[in-house]
Amino acid sequence: MRVWLIFIAAGIGTYLIRLSGVLLLSDEERIPLPVRRALRMVGPAAIGAIIVSALFLDHGQWRAFGAWHLAALVAIGVAVWKRSMGWSMLAGAVAFAALLLAGL
């Protein structure tokens, strides 16, 4: 039951955020610049936090160095080089599979 309530509360909050501008604003310029700046950083901050946490931590402890880190490096390298989501995922997945097969 608790799980349901958490998802429903997050869902309602998220829906209200999605509606906010569409219902209340007629022009992006009406959001004050500092707020717009902060909102623009939410994506990199949130996604970066999730990447770092998943990559370096395992249940609150440091993850032992290995396939996770190396394959992530490959994915990041290809992402910077190709600027492509698809190539980055493919390279990272192939590298990870190869590293696991190699016993890392």
Partner 1 sequence: MTDPAAAPRGRAVLGIGRLQWADSWAGLKAISPLLIGSAAFGLAFGALVDVAGINPWAGASASVIVVAGASQIAIVEAMRANAPALIAVLTGVLINARFALYSAALAPVWAEFPLRWKLLLSYLMTDQSAVTSLQWAERYPDPVRRRWFTLGGAVPFVGVWVLGTVAGILLGPVIPTSWQIGFIVPLMFIAVLVPGLRRPAELVTLAVAAGVVLAARGLPYGLNILFGIIAGIIAGAAWETLADAHARRRGTPPGERGTEAETAT
Say how many residues touch partner 1, by CB under 8 A. 72
- How far is the C-alpha of 5 from the C-alpha of 83, rounded, in Å? 39
Binding residue for partner 1, selected from 32, 44, 102, 103, defined by CB under 8 A? 44
- How far is the C-alpha of 87 from the C-alpha of 19, rounded, in Å? 34
* 103 makes contact with partner 1 (CB under 8 A): no
Cβ pair 54, 70 in contact under 8 A: no
| Footprint of partner 1 on 14-33 (CB under 8 A) | 14-15, 17-28, 30-31, 33
| Footprint of partner 1 on 48-77 (CB under 8 A) | 48-57, 60-61, 67-68, 71-72, 75-76
- Sole residue written with tokens 């990041």: 76
- CA R_g for the chain: 19
- Least gap, CB of 91 to partner 1 (angstroms): 9
* 101 makes contact with partner 1 (CB under 8 A): no
- Residue type, position 40, single letter: R
